[in-house]
Chains A and B, each alone.
Chain A
Amino acid sequence: DTGVSQDPRHKITKRGQNVTFRCDPISEHNRLYWYRQTLGQGPEFLTYFQNEAQLEKSRLLSDRFSAERPKGSFSTLEIQRTEQGDSAMYLCASSLSTSGNTIYFGEGSWLTVV
């Protein structure tokens, strides 16, 4: 399978715990995006990388959210001190910077904060 891969697919955590999601993009793609989707809404952009550089992070929802892409390959999204409002699906997508924004999504990681 050469698509975008996300792990874990589902995560249930207690309020106040930290969680980390991993995304492996399509291998030749140099851009990687994180979106969040809540029920009944479209994907909401969080942040994106070109290679290892994080080019936009002002849309991260709070300072509890952080993302890395240390070697320009896989990426992690960490949420610290989770709150019930963080319950959502976290979507990763990747693209080639020359492809005019054509992004390909992974299957998503569901987060439930109890």
Chain B
Amino acid sequence: AQSVTQPDIHITVSEGASLELRCNYSYGATPYLFWYVQSPGQGLQLLLKYFSGDTLVQGIKGFEAEFKRSQSSFNLRKPSVHWSDAAEYFCAVGTRSGNTPLVFGKGTRLSVIA
């Protein structure tokens, strides 16, 4: 069975600074990987996904993530954070068949300070 670890529960960055959120997964085969963002009291919005090919994937809102098989990681990055990026971020792992549901990490809460 697949699993996801997000080592950082809470991160605070200054507006305009760069951001990296960590995600490590466990899965025996090639995973499908996702990042979602959740604002307080809202559902989850898909930021980006990795299925195959180029290991650096671009998403919405200026986010990108890099798949590193050797490190079992899929870290999310943004070069310059905006105050509106403050939210909860979830990494998820799925399978190629799609017959097993996505498994989510516990999330990283991002705070942005002026």
Contact = CB atoms under 8 A, between A and B. Distances in A.
Nearest to A6: B43
Contacts of A101: 32, 34, 94-95, 98, 101-102
Contacts of A6: 43
A2 interface: no
Contact of B44 (A40, A43, A97): A43
A107 B43 contact: yes
A50 to B, nearest CB: 9
Contact of B106 (A42, A55, A91, A106): A42
Given A100-B96, A101-B32, A105-B45, A41 B102 contact: no
Interface size class of B (residues with CB under 8 A): 20 to 34
B101 A56 contact: yes
B84 interface: no
Nearest to B31: A101
A108 interface: yes
A22 B43 CA distance: 15
Contacts of B36: 105
Interface string B71-113: 0000000000000000000101011101101111111000000
A19 B41 CA distance: 20
A91 B44 contact: yes
B63 interface: no
Nearest to A46: B101
Contacts of B34: 101-102
Contacts of B103: 45
Contacts of A103: 46, 102
Interface of A: 4, 6, 33, 40-45, 48, 55-56, 91, 93, 95, 97-108, 110
Interface of B: 4, 32, 34, 36, 41-46, 49, 51, 90, 92, 94-96, 98-99, 101-107
A-B pairs, top 8 by smallest CB distance, nearest first, are A101-B94, A42-B104, A105-B43, A45-B101, A105-B44, A107-B43, A101-B98, A108-B43
5 contacts: A6-B43, A43-B104, A101-B98, A101-B102, A106-B43
